[in-house]
Structure 1
Amino acid sequence: MVVLLLVAGAVLVRAYPSVAATTCPRCYGMVPVRDRLYVEPGRSDADRQRLVDVYDAATRRVDDFYRGRRSDPTVLACFTPGCYERIGGGGERGIAILDQALMLSPRGIDPVIAAHELSHVELHVRLGARAGDVPQWFDEGLAVLVADDRRYLLPPTEPDRCRDASPGPLPETLDAWLRAAGADEQVYARAACRVHRWVIAHGGPRAVLDLIDRLRAGDDIATLVTD
């Protein structure tokens, strides 16, 4: 049994280093800044404080939208590309891992990027077993809205925040989303537009909490949200 566990652990590390790293940050040389927040070793006090400030600003955005957080993910932040590659990161700015953790690349140590990934984790934690029922475009568009990402949305002072209101179907699955986003990053703007308009039409952010409750109660998302 011990041998099997060791083999399984070795396979996990090789195949899914990001899962292994977020499960055991210290095993990958990451050091704690505070509870559940880790950074690569050797960073200055200024870098560590910057990370804390970014994370606090990001959590405030999620708290404000969801009226509090139920998630408390482990966060691994890298200031150098080598660190991010070592923990299993790729070309993305940040990524949520199994709804339990998130990783931030050097380009992702920013309140908007961190809030985007925190929104994914928060939504999935609240949905539980129903998380897989939410189409990827809605999940991504909601994360843009929660993070207030001005690359893809106009300022809140605008009556309609859409930067790209192009019609047409949006990717439903993660694989389809990754392909679409790789070809055209503005798919985030189109998804954010759909979600923003849906939220406004249904009474504001509270509509997302109601949607979560209805999904957990067994309702079909296809009857509640369309693209």
Structure 2
Amino acid sequence: MSKKLVLFCDFDGTITEKDNIVSIVRKFAPPECETLIEQILTQKITIQSGVGQLFALIPSDKREEIIQFILEEAKIRDGFPEFIRFCREEGIEWLITSGGIDFFLEPLLAPFDLAGVPLYCNGSDFSGERIRITWPHSCDEHCDNGCGMCKTTIIRRYDPAQHYRVVIGDSITDLAGAKIADYVIARSLLAQKAAELQLPHSTFSTFHDVITVLRDLKQEVS
């Protein structure tokens, strides 16, 4: 039986060339942020705990300054507009599943025609003295990783008997989802982990590479 291709695409370090959370906290948080970043990447603390602690180091009145900084700093990965068009033309369902934060994701994505593409990310609250991250898409009963924005919870909503589930990502925040997906399109740390765990995967540098992989996958699963 043929399956429907569905894509779960990361944002930071995938749609953008750099991890925007790391860029923001290194610019606006005090030096102790480096210890937290290292603890997140080495899985010594959960992503939810680490990201929450990182943004709690930054005053809320920096909101507009952070947005302006990230609009100037972030670079969208080559081929992303073509990827959007390819998915639309081929009728491929895809979602943006990001451990990033709404207040900087939405301005970065605003220039693109993403009508009908769901965006799952973390929220933000600037009502207090320090930035507070909110978690509208936290882990379900099947996950205890403290993901913050739980990608496996989103992926599990798609029946593997009917869907061929593909994770596109780059980092530790994508690893749990990659482990339960049918296929992984990876770069950086996620590519390294996928190889170590012998997960079915391809690597990418640009979204042109992603399109090439998807063309082949679509033929295989249709």
TM-score (norm. length: structure 2): 0.30
Structure with the largest fraction of helix: 1
Task: Choose 1 or 2 for highest CA Rg.
Answer: 1
Structure with the largest fraction of strand: 2
The answer to which structure, 1 or 2, has the higher relative contact order (CA under 8 A, 6+ apart) is: 2
TM-score (norm. length: structure 1): 0.30
